[in-house]
Every structure is written in structure tokens, then in C-alpha cells.
Amino acid sequence: MKAAVFHKPGDIRYDTMPDPRIELATDVILKVTSTAICGSDLHILSGAVPQPEPMIMGHEFMGIVQEVGAEVKRLKKDDRVVVPFPIACGHCFFCTHGASPACENSNYKHYGPDGDLMDQKGAALFGYTDLYGGYSGGQAEYVRVPYGDVSPRIVPDNLSDEQVLFLTDIFPTGWSAIDWAQMKGGEVVAIFGSGPVGLMAQKAAWVNGASRVIAIDPLNYRLEKARVVNKADTLNPHEVDVIDAIRAMTGGRGADVCVDAVGFEPERTFMDKVKATINFEKGSIKALEMCFKAVRRMGTVSIMGVYGSTYDNFPLHRVFDKGITLKIGQAPVLNYIDHLIDLVKDEKVVLDDIITHTLPLSQVSHGYKIFDEKEEDCVKVVLKPGQ
């Protein structure tokens, strides 16, 4: 079959790989109809999240069930499903406590309680390096989905792939950021990063009763997207002092909720890179530092952006003095997905309006390039296998 294969940093290309097959009786083989490129995939492309061997990329995908293992009961051939990105067994301690990204069984080679740099990770993720389980991803014609009865969700026939594809990751991720803040209604929510995850957090903030949603990003075309599709107020850090502006909008206090939808690879200066090298840091916590400043006392900062090392000068004093509630980690997609499917079905939220590029899978290298280098006003790339 054909697939998007990571070979080395900077080199993800359309390649021929062996077809997946049922390996365990609980597996499902999916014929992928649509798949997307995520900001998390860019950390693999850049080499910041290392992968030694060639690997099929992709953790945002959906498709048609092609074959089911002998023990799969809930799915049958020809069902149309979306697949959440964390691979969860469904019966371990964490899976039964609403914490599927900590599943104890799916990442059996590198799982551990430590959460350290080179080992002891959480649940396996599709197409996300050997450390996260070594599973092939879904930027491919076919993909093996383990624990077929646990995570995949059948989606209504009348909804297009594009309407439901982002239920696999970015909408539940944006939703987590807001749910973790336990909003009561009327909150001002400032979202740093107006890429796909930030845009989804903006949507989730409105659904959860925000009175104002502020999008922050150095790229004006992404702010334009936030204004057009999500009616957000927008701030460009190259043009205004973002912290002053947010305080001016909130009686001097700061935003009730701040979301870091940027992560450890923000826009960086040469000096930022030097500092990171000297301190053995991966990237920078610049965006997160902005969140700590912009949030009001006793507010919540939800960190959806990925962070990949220790960081010197972490401003813990500010977090303490302001009494900030911090929530961080992989999105527990399974906790939300059924509710979120209903929101889409009931037209309470629209997800496909962030798509800027739909490409055949054969053009995957181009898709990665424009998404990574922010060319052609790229916000979100959907890939179509078999084309």
C-alpha cells in the first residue's frame, strides 16, 4: 500500500509499505478515507521528537472497516468510524478511570510511571515514534487499529468526512483545554496559538459559555481565520503588547482562562535558540510564560502544546503568587468524543471551516512543507489516500 513515511528529519514522503494485517483478535483493519496533518507531526518532522526507523505517520484519521479480528464485537465490515489518537486497552486502571492517555497496556515496551525523556511514556499513539508504541499511523491507505472495540466511533452517514475528522484529535484537544478550566459562563478566554488546536479551543470556549474569546498569534492570516470562523478578538505579538492588551480588556486583572496551544516550538529568535542549546532545553516555554502573565490571579492555564524537556527559569514563583491552576497533557479524547459527535450532529459547532488544503496523499511532502513553513496561508491539511 501507499503511505506517508517518515525517513529522517525533514524527510516525510509518499512511499510503498507492507499492507497491515490483523495481528491480534481484537484488531481492526481500516481503509482510510481521510487523514490530517497535526502540529504534533511537525515535532517529528523537525527531529525534536526522535524516531530512529522509518515509520508511517498520522494519528488523525477515519475510514471504513475492512476486516475485524475474531474477538471484535462492536464493529463490523463497512462501518464508517473516526479513531481517537491515544491507543487505549479499555480495561486497565487508567482506562477505567477516565484517563486513557495513561493506558498501561498499549505502550508495553516504553510505558512507565516516570514520564522521563527517553523512556517511561504514557499510552501509545498512532504513528508517533517507537517511544509511543511504534504503531503505524493512518496517513496511509490502510491502518491497523488495536483494541477495535474500545476507541473507534461510528459516525452518522449524513456527515461528511471533513465534518467529523477532527473528532480524532484537535477538537477534543481544544475541548479538554476548556473543560479543564471548569467554566461557569461569562469568562474571558485567551488562547495563545491560532493554529488548528487554538482554533478548536476557540470553538470550545464559545460552546462553554465564554463572554469573550481572544486569539493570539504572530501570523496575521491565522488571526484572520480566528476572526472569520470563530468571531474571536485577535492580537498579534509583533504589533501590540499582548499582556497589556489582555489586561486592558479585563479591568486590569487578566483573562480568566489562558490556553497554551503553541508548545515548545514557538516562533524563536536566534538568542532563544542559543539559550536552549546552553540549557539543554528542547525549544522554549515562551508561549507558556505569556499565559502565566496574561491569566488573572486564581485563573486557569491549560497547556495543550507539547513540551519535551526540562526548562530552566520556569516561573514557578508567578504560578504560586497568582494561585494559578495548571492543567496539562494529552487530551483524554475518549471522555468527550460521544458528546462532541452529538454537538457536530446537532450543528452546535462546525469543525471543517478551518481546512485550507485538501490534497491527495501522494502530495503528502508538499502538505507537510506548506503546513510547517506556513506557506499558502495553510492552516489545516486534509489528505485523501488512494488519490
Ligand X SMILES: NC(=O)c1ccc[n+]([C@@H]2O[C@H](COP(=O)([O-])OP(=O)(O)OC[C@H]3O[C@@H](n4cnc5c(N)ncnc54)[C@H](O)[C@@H]3O)[C@@H](O)[C@H]2O)c1
Name the site residues for ligand X (rule: CB under 6 A). Answer: 38-40, 42-43, 169-170, 173, 192-198, 216-219, 222, 237, 261-263, 266-267, 286-287, 304-306, 330-331
Q: By C-beta, is 55 or 72 nearer to ligand X?
A: 55
Beta bridge partners of 250: none
| The entry of ligand X, Zn ion, none that residue 89 binds, CB within 5 to 8 Å by partner kind | Zn ion
| The entry of ligand X, Zn ion, none that residue 331 binds, CB within 5 to 8 Å by partner kind | ligand X
| The entry of Zn ion, ligand X, none that residue 103 binds, CB within 5 to 8 Å by partner kind | Zn ion
Could you tell me the smallest distance in angstroms from the CB atom of residue 284 to ligand X?
A: 9
Could you tell me the smallest distance in angstroms from the CB atom of residue 49 to ligand X?
A: 9
> CA–CA separation, 10 vs 290, rounded Å?
29
Phi, psi of 150 (to 5 degrees): -95, -60
| Strand-strand pairing, 153-154 and 233-235 | unpaired
Residues that bind Zn ion (CB under 5 A): 38, 40, 89, 92, 95, 103, 105, 169
Could you tell me the smallest distance in angstroms from the CB atom of residue 70 to Zn ion?
A: 21
Q: By C-beta, is 294 or 324 nearer to ligand X?
A: 294
Phi, psi of 167 (to 5 degrees): -75, -10
Mark 291-329 as b/e (b = at least 16 C-beta within 10 Å).
Answer: bbbbbbeebbbbbbbbbbeebeeeeeeeeeebebbebeb
Could you tell me the smallest distance in angstroms from the CB atom of residue 229 to ligand X?
A: 14
Q: By C-beta, is 15 or 162 nearer to ligand X?
A: 162
Q: What share of the chain is helix, strand, coil (3-state, %, to 5)?
A: 30, 25, 45
Could you tell me the smallest distance in angstroms from the CB atom of residue 304 to Zn ion?
A: 10
| The entry of ligand X, Zn ion, none that residue 95 binds, CB within 5 to 8 Å by partner kind | Zn ion
CA-CA distances (angstroms) from residue 229 to 87, 112, 204, 236, 299?
A: 31, 41, 13, 17, 26
